[in-house]
Amino acid sequence: MRHRTLRQLEVFEAIARLGSFTRAAEELFLTQPTVSMQIKKLSDAVGLPLFEQVGKKIYLTDAGHELHRTCRGIFEHLAHFEMVTADMKGLKTGKLRLAVVTTAKYFAPRLLGMFCQQYPGVEVSLKVSNRERVLERLAANQDDLYILGQPPEEADAVAEAFLENTLVVIAPAHHALAKKKKIPLARIAEEPFLLREPGSGTRMATERVFATQGLKLKVRMELGSNEAIKQAVIGGLGISVLSSHTLALDAPARQFVVLDVQGFPIRRHWYFAYPAGKQLSIVASTFVDYLRQASKYIGVVSAQEHGRPGRLVKKAE
């Protein structure tokens, strides 16, 4: 193994991470025969197969899992060394790998854009997925930082609140309750409800509020994205609860309204998290400090303005 090249380990790590020889070849700008040859040489050096194919899927063998853990440690140490030396030179360079839940996509790109303006030498990788998948990535330590709508209690992780996340009830603009004040929660529970998929942080928070008063939602439809929910609300299929951040940028003009409901808005927070015991890179630590000042960068007041009860939501100018 001592004479294996760093390139062979890079090829192996890419296949293990992506689950595909083809996708690894595309990411590394190599031909698939070259990738296969590098893995054969590495397997010969180890003396054991590193992958096994079942049907059309590729899986790591026991030896492959051990080598994958070793590779991640090697690459993390090399990345840390590069960032330490860059810091010694007075530069902030390196890579920031960020995974966020789907609702966070409404503000995460703005945060990253302004961060990269301050540190143009930083290369950013942003993964957007549902909460379940983000928690899987956190457990596997696949990224530097994770942004979620509630602390990751399912994982051994460090989490810190950095930005307010306000949840509001929305309905079609022509809804019978659109101009009512202080609508009882029990009245809202009578309406057909549109919810995100099970495991969504917004859904869990919504169900928790109604459950505290012994109320059960009349779920008409489960949808996998905030955009689908907004379109379904506009179409008159029901009402829903969404983060005010999802209303701040691209809401259709005057087509739905925020209802004035007792117990709402629900004031929650966005959290950044990382595995307990993980040593953050210099770039990740710099981004954490930046997140602690996030509210002054992304116009939270504007987002909350869109979430005022009784306000028709119109497209931002």
- Strand boundaries in 206-265, DSSP class E: 218-223, 240-243, 256-258
- State the amino acid at position 26 in one-letter form: E
Joined together, the tokens standing for residue 59 give: 């899986």
**What average pLDDT does the segment 129-146 reach?**
90
- Contact between 138 and 157 under an 8 Å Cβ cutoff? The reply is yes
Sign (positive or negative) of CA dihedral 86, 87, 90, 93: positive
CB 9 within 8 A of CB 20: no
pLDDT of res. 300: 42
Residue 157: beta bridge partners? 275
| pLDDT tens, residue by residue, 268-307 | 889 999 998 888 888 888 899 999 887 766 654 333 344 4
What percentage of the chain reaches a pLDDT higher than 70? 86
- pLDDT of 297 reads 62
User: Could you tell me where in the chain the CATH 1.10.10.10 domains are found?
Assistant: 6-71
The ranges of the chain annotated as CATH 3.40.190.10 are 91-163+269-302, 165-268+303-313
CATH number of 165-268+303-313: 3.40.190.10
Query: Are 208 and 150 within 8 A, CB to CB?
Result: no
What is the residue whose two structure tokens read 């054969």? 40
How large is the angle between the packed helices 108-118 and 282-291, nearest 10 degrees? 120
The pLDDT score that the predictor gives to residue 298 is: 63
Q: pLDDT band at 88, cuts 50/70/90?
A: low
Within 8 A by CB and 6+ apart from 303, the residues are: 107, 166, 244, 245, 247, 248
> What is 91-163+269-302's CATH number, 3.10.100.10, 3.40.50.970, 3.30.70.141, 3.40.190.10?
3.40.190.10
Specify the pLDDT at position 4.
Answer: 66
DSSP 49: -
How much is the pLDDT for 305? 40
Give the DSSP per-residue string, 9-34. HHHHHHHHHHT-HHHHHHHHT--HHH
What does residue 180 show for φ and ψ, rounded to 5 degrees? -75, 155
The confidence band for 91, taking pLDDT boundaries of 50, 70 and 90, is low
CA nearest neighbour of 313 among 185, 187, 175: 175
CATH, domain range 6-71? 1.10.10.10
